[in-house]
């Protein structure tokens, strides 16, 4: 007695493997995905926007440095600029651009189909894309922080504030990147949604309502910075604990990969046919 199902599977296998297939290589897949992401991200508009955001805190720093002793306490100045211009503005917007550019464009033009109709595990695709956005965001944010710090205090780094924020924005950048990569996979208007989130949630609500501190990437970033510096500026006290912040960031990272992989099983493709 032959099992019909078994026969069907054997039939498929007999005809399917004229080209030998093996396990998918993570390195090759990552290379493909990063190249695709890079091509979608390195566009004139995004490059100009990222450059402007990168230079913004440094311009403030140049003004501060040009006024010499009249400018006041450099640590206080740096903490405020790092918080307002990097943690709440540059880092999330870097992450938004890097996290949404590839998936949003691919879903819109339908080329996402070529990624999801492969044997590559979906979570690999999401993980590589999250890491691409996280590394890019962390790199750009770290340059913004360290460049600003060097302009204001040279290489002295009083109270280790620049070092603390450099490390903190790496973590904050990864959390933002995870969040926005997931947003790109789940909504059609990821860029608009992300900007509203940055302006309203992180820009207004997270600083107004203490209860939201535990759900704010900006506050997690500040909590990490606070744990690494001796500075006691207002924004560095009263936020969530370091543990809560690390758990929050890790949760966002894991959730983005899990939910992102799930959404890639039924990809949100704009019209691919009629």
Partner 1 sequence: MSTSTARADTALEFEHVSHWYGDVVAVNDISCTVGTGITGLLGPNGAGKSTLLQLAAGLLVPASGAVRVYGAPPTNGPSVYRHVALVPEREALPAMMSARAFVAARAAMLGVRDVRGAVDRALALVELDTVADRKVGGFSKGMRQRAKLAAALVHEPSLVLLDEPFNGLDPRQRVHMMRLLEERVAEGTAVLLSSHILEEIEGVANRILVMLSGRLAASGDYRTLRRLMTDQPHTVRVRSSNDRTLASLLMQVPSVLSVELSSEGVVVRTTDYAAFARAVAPAAQHGQLTLFEVEATDESLEHVFAYLVAR
Instruction: By CB under 8 A, name the binding residues for partner 1.
Output: 2-5, 7-25, 28-29, 31-32, 35-36, 39, 109-111, 113-122, 265-267, 269, 271-274
Residue with Cβ nearer partner 1 (10 or 66) = 10
Short-list 234, 257, 247, 115, CA closest to 177: 257
What is the nearest approach in angstroms of partner 1 to the Cβ of residue 189?
Answer: 19
Residue with Cβ nearer partner 1 (28 or 67) = 28
What is the nearest approach in angstroms of partner 1 to the Cβ of residue 174?
Answer: 25
Question: Angle between the 161-186 and 74-81 helix axes, to the nearest 10 degrees?
Answer: 10
What is the nearest approach in angstroms of partner 1 to the Cβ of residue 29?
Answer: 6
What is the nearest approach in angstroms of partner 1 to the Cβ of residue 102?
Answer: 10
Output Rg (C-alpha) for the chain, integer angstroms: 22
Residue with Cβ nearer partner 1 (9 or 76) = 9
C-alpha distance from residue 67 to each of 62, 84, 265 (Å): 9, 21, 57
Residue with Cβ nearer partner 1 (101 or 159) = 101
Residue with Cβ nearer partner 1 (54 or 115) = 115
Q: How far apart are the first and last CA of the chain?
A: 44
What is the nearest approach in angstroms of partner 1 to the Cβ of residue 258?
Answer: 16
What's the rounded Cα separation, in Å, for the pair 104 and 110?
10
Short-list 134, 149, 41, CA closest to 85: 149
């Amino acid at each position: 007695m032959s099992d019909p199902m078994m026969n069907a599977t054997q039939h498929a296998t007999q005809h399917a493997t004229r080209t030998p297939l093996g396990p998918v290589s993570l390195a090759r897949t990552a290379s493909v995905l990063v190249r695709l992401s890079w091509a979608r991200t390195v566009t004139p508009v995004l490059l100009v926007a990222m450059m402007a955001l990168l230079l913004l805190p440094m311009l403030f720093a140049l003004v501060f440095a040009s006024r010499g002793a009249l400018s006041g306490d450099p640590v206080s100045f740096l903490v405020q600029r790092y918080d307002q211009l990097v943690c709440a503005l540059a880092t999330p917007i870097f992450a938004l651009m890097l996290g949404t550019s590839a998936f949003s464009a691919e879903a819109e033009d339908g080329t996402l189909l070529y990624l999801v109709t492969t044997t590559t595990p979906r979570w690999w695709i999401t993980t590589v894309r999250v890491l691409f956005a996280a590394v890019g965001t962390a790199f750009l944010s770290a340059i913004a922080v360290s460049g600003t710090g060097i302009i204001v205090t040279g290489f002295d780094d009083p109270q280790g504030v620049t070092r603390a924020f450099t490390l903190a924005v790496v973590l904050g950048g990864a959390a933002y990147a995870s969040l926005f990569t997931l947003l790109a996979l789940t909504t059609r208007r990821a860029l608009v949604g992300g900007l509203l989130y940055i302006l309203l949630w992180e820009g207004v609500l997270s600083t107004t309502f203490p209860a939201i501190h535990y759900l704010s990437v900006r506050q997690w970033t500040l909590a990490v910075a606070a744990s690494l510096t001796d500075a006691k500026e207002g924004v560095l006290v009263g936020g969530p604990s370091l543990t809560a912040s690390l758990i929050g960031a890790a949760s966002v990272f894991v959730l983005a990969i899990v939910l992102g992989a799930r959404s890639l099983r039924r990809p949100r493709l704009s019209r691919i046919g009629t």
